[in-house]
Chain A
Amino acid sequence: MQIPPPLDPVEAVKRAMPDALLDAKQFRDETTLIIQASQIVKAAQYLRDTPGLVYNFLSDISAVDYYPEYNRPERFGVSYHLYSMLYNRRLRLKVFVPEEEPEVATMTTVWPGANWLEREIFDMMGIHFQGHPDMRRLLMPEDWDGHPHRRDYPLGYEQVQFSFNVEEILKHKPLAEE
């Protein structure tokens, strides 16, 4: 079987979807493509299915919160780490998500394995994934207040429950009262 020669992902995306690619970055031999949030699924599909790119494996999805200094366009960033088994190289897609409306389209239509990774980000960062089949919390209890991995969420501890403060604690845990 003839394997087509590898294409440069930056050039390929720039040619195929010029309005989707906002920026491309190199840091320590890692390529990052900054993609417009509305086009991310299309871009991933293109990178997966085009001969010469074939980024067929989704390694990881992580989210990062740039609070408080905001030296990026928006508050949240979501990074998709793709890997091409054929050409043995990695690529990072990055989208920026605004604070007011933290929403991105789901990647589960491209890779079903994105399911729990996106649930974890929803749980920890409060970023919604539109079209996700099962958008529930993954790690934290269902009735938890807030999203712990946001930078403005304090690194706290579980309050010890005594008889004098039990009502105050249960106020934040509607399901525990049952």
Chain B
Amino acid sequence: MAVVQSPDSYIQEGKWEGNIEQLKGLVSERAFTGETMLLNMGPHHPSTHGVLRLLLELDGERIVNAMPDVGYLHTGIEKNIEAKTYEKGVTLTDRMDYLSPLSNNMAFCMAVEKLVDLDVPERARLIRVVVLELQRIASHMVWLGTHAIDMGAMSVMLYAFREREKILEMLEMLGGQRMMGSYIRPGGVWRDITPDFKPALRVFLDTFPRVIDDFEALLRNNPIWIDRTQGIGVLDPEVALAWGVTGPSLRGSGVNWDIRKAMPYSGYETFEFNVPLGEHGDVYDRFLCRVLELRECVKILEQGYQRLTDKGPFRSDDRKYVPPPRSELGRSMEAVIHHFKLWTEGFSAPDEEVYVAIESPRGEIGCYLHGTGGTKPRRVHFKTPSLIHISALPVMSQGHFIADLVAIIGSVDVVLGDSDR
């Protein structure tokens, strides 16, 4: 067993030296002379949004360099999916970005559908768009609440989580669970919308725009908020592109790239909506982009509500990939065979690779899927926006105060489950 020693004895015996040598090349030379200080922030820090550890090199209170350390939430999701059939892998993707599980489902399912060339009916794609936009609002609500509470604006969090609760209730009506519903499946969605979903969506759409007004009234012109966010964490468009930053964080720098517009999937091309853009690339512009995006989500949902019919196909009827409805199992032998084959062996996919990217609330979620020719994938890799955004944190935070670092982390909206997988 390790003997507990006082920190002084470590230094006297020279035990820290080995660690300092490892930091050569990561910290500046001034750290070795003691001119700058190394400070550990996290992994259990309330404003790092999960278990993110940052090793900071500080000159007084200014950040010389920040070295993020991730992996505390690594759960081997990609490795586990390799050991499961395609249909069963969906439930694991929920657990990556736990604030927007449906986006992960969508990326994985679209990759599977592309690999096996499976078509999704029109109405299923519409339902997918509706739930994805609901999920986007729910995710932005958590972002807004935690971002504001990091900077000392308490009340926003309570309003935001109240709204998120309404969305989670609607998702529960559909998928049976508030968060990890695995509602989107290869070939469509798990089940049809329930009769109480549309009325609930109507009530939400009628009340939510006024709540966005409230958020804007609380923060947008708030002088304290502006002081804390404008000119902080500036990310130039060229730098953002070189570092691979995507989503609202990229659009805050004024780069007009939204995958829903550039490479529409699931029928986004039939919806009318705008892509809000920032100008300066600072924390305030990223904040504004996301808040304005909420209004666009409402616009998409309004169109989705108008088009969503009560009856119709909600998943593909290709029985080789999608299980038959329960009602058929009692009277069709073929349905029973298909059901049995799908739940024991699963369906096969070719030994080829595909890459599919969608616009999640945080940015581009890419799913790289490589089949084996059998029923299990050879490799699944998720390109997740949070990982990229954390790797770009040092660029954004150099020269700022520690208190601003908290604002910067909040503004790029990282989820550690998303980055570590």
A residues within 8 A CB of B379?
A: 62-65, 149
A59 to B391, Cβ gap below 8 A?
A: no
A residues within 8 A CB of B70?
A: 138-139
A residues within 8 A CB of B74?
A: 139-140
Contact of B355 among A92, A112, A115, A137 (CB under 8 A): A92
- Bound-complex Cα distance A28 to B371 (A): 14
A28 to B354, Cβ gap below 8 A?
A: yes
B313 within 8 A of partner (CB): no
Instruction: Tell me the residues in window 63-80 of chain B with beta carbons closer than 8 Å to chain A beta carbons.
Output: 70-71, 74, 76, 78-80
A14 within 8 A of partner (CB): no
B282 within 8 A of partner (CB): no
Specify the chain B residue showing the minimal Cβ separation from A113.
Answer: B244
A60 to B353, Cβ gap below 8 A?
A: no
- Bound-complex Cα distance A138 to B72 (A): 10
Specify the chain A residue showing the minimal Cβ separation from B395.
Answer: A112
Known: A59-B364, A59-B383, A177-B2. A88 touches B71 (CB 8 A): no
- Bound-complex Cα distance A60 to B357 (A): 10
A53 within 8 A of partner (CB): no
- Bound-complex Cα distance A28 to B80 (A): 26
- Bound-complex Cα distance A66 to B351 (A): 10
Specify the chain A residue showing the minimal Cβ separation from B68.
Answer: A116
B130 to chain A, nearest CB (A): 26
A30 within 8 A of partner (CB): yes
B289 to chain A, nearest CB (A): 18
- Bound-complex Cα distance A59 to B255 (A): 15
A residues within 8 A CB of B203?
A: none
A residues within 8 A CB of B2?
A: 177-178
- Bound-complex Cα distance A30 to B370 (A): 13
B353 to A113, Cβ gap below 8 A?
A: no
B243 within 8 A of partner (CB): yes
B378 within 8 A of partner (CB): yes
Specify the chain B residue showing the minimal Cβ separation from A125.
Answer: B379
Scoring B residues 373 to 417 as 1 if CB is less than 8 Å from chain A, else 0, what string do you get? 000001101010001101110000000000000000000000000
Known: A116-B388, A134-B26. A60 touches B381 (CB 8 A): yes
Specify the chain B residue showing the minimal Cβ separation from A64.
Answer: B379
Contact of A59 among B243, B366, B387, B392 (CB under 8 A): B366
B354 to A27, Cβ gap below 8 A?
A: yes
A32 within 8 A of partner (CB): yes
B66 to chain A, nearest CB (A): 14
- Bound-complex Cα distance A134 to B114 (A): 36
A79 within 8 A of partner (CB): yes
B263 within 8 A of partner (CB): yes
Instruction: Tell me the residues in window 69-109 of chain A with beta carbons closer than 8 Å to chain B beta carbons.
Output: 71, 79, 81, 85, 88, 90, 92
Instruction: Tell me the residues in window 1-34 of chain B with beta carbons closer than 8 Å to chain A beta carbons.
Output: 2, 25-26
A88 to B355, Cβ gap below 8 A?
A: no
B305 within 8 A of partner (CB): no
A19 to chain B, nearest CB (A): 24
A149 to chain B, nearest CB (A): 6
- Bound-complex Cα distance A139 to B52 (A): 12
- Bound-complex Cα distance A149 to B379 (A): 9
Contact of B368 among A62, A114, A151 (CB under 8 A): A62
Scoring B residues 102 to 117 as 1 if CB is less than 8 Å from chain A, else 0, what string do you get? 0000000000001101
- Bound-complex Cα distance A155 to B245 (A): 32
B57 within 8 A of partner (CB): no
B262 within 8 A of partner (CB): yes
A residues within 8 A CB of B337?
A: none
A138 to B80, Cβ gap below 8 A?
A: no
- Bound-complex Cα distance A148 to B378 (A): 14
A residues within 8 A CB of B357?
A: 59
- Bound-complex Cα distance A114 to B241 (A): 12
B244 to A81, Cβ gap below 8 A?
A: no
- Bound-complex Cα distance A32 to B262 (A): 21
Known: A65-B379, A88-B262. A30 touches B368 (CB 8 A): no
A133 within 8 A of partner (CB): yes
B352 within 8 A of partner (CB): yes
B25 to A64, Cβ gap below 8 A?
A: no
A64 to B71, Cβ gap below 8 A?
A: no
B residues within 8 A CB of A79?
A: 353, 355, 368
B residues within 8 A CB of A92?
A: 353, 355
**Mind listing 14 A-B residue pairs with CB under 8 Å?**
A27-B352, A28-B117, A60-B355, A62-B381, A79-B353, A79-B355, A113-B242, A133-B25, A137-B71, A139-B74, A139-B420, A148-B76, A148-B79, A155-B76
A116-B387, A116-B391, A134-B26 given; name 10 further pairs at CB < 8 Å.
A27-B353, A28-B117, A60-B366, A60-B368, A62-B368, A81-B368, A85-B262, A117-B387, A134-B25, A139-B421
B residues apposed to A, CB below 8 Å? 2, 25-26, 70-71, 74, 76, 78-80, 82-83, 114-115, 117, 241-245, 255, 257, 262-263, 351-355, 357, 364, 366, 368, 370, 378-379, 381, 383, 387-388, 390-392, 420-421
In order of increasing CB-CB distance, the 4 nearest A-B pairs are A113-B244, A60-B383, A62-B381, A139-B71
A residues apposed to B, CB below 8 Å? 27-28, 30, 32, 56-60, 62-66, 71, 79, 81, 85, 88, 90, 92, 111-117, 120, 133-134, 137-141, 148-149, 151, 155, 177-178
